[in-house]
Amino acid sequence: MEVRTLLKLLNKFITIPFLSPSPIINGKKFIHLKQSKTGGEVYIPINSKILEILKQRNGSFPPTIHQNYINKYIKSVANKADIKQEFIVERTISGKKIKDSQPKYKFISAHTARRSFCTNAYNAGLPPHQIMVISGYKSEKVFYNYIKASIKTKAIQIAEHSFFD
């Protein structure tokens, strides 16, 4: 399955809860939402890709779909995309470590997208404090647990910093 096809399928099921009309700040459009867990406000800049999707939808976001359904759809798409390699997750339940091995697509969810965004933004050089503003993380410790950047990626980012010129 091509990435384009995968994105078109996922686009049908994107949800943005607690969305308010796109505010314009300093000439830039934003998605403004309120987090259900913490009540914190989040402003997410709307990039050209999102503007293009909105243009195709006459400026409207897709209707809200419950997260359980979104996760079901994501797992279905990941299964069809053949993301089936065995994946082991280690959990601690009642003080005992338990390993769970299943096809990888069964572990993919909407939360995976949040984690992937954080990792991709970090790898692209966006400063962690700015990623935390968009993703809603308050604690750097929790944030750094979510990103999956390799030691090599971190070394390259350090080497590209102006301090090492």
| Residue 21: per-residue pLDDT | 54
| Residue 101: per-residue pLDDT | 93
Instruction: Specify the pairing of strand 28-34 against strand 24-25.
Output: antiparallel
Structure tokens at 98: 């338990």
Stretches in the chain below the pLDDT threshold 70: 1-22
The pTM is what? 0.65
Distance of alpha carbon 133 from its chain centroid, rounded?
13
Short-list 76, 68, 70, 77, CA closest to 14 = 70
| Residue 78: per-residue pLDDT | 93
| Residue 1: per-residue pLDDT | 41
d(CA 124, CA 7) in angstroms, rounded, equals 20
| Residue 90: per-residue pLDDT | 87
| Residue 7: per-residue pLDDT | 45
Neighbouring CB atoms inside 10 A of 75's CB total 17
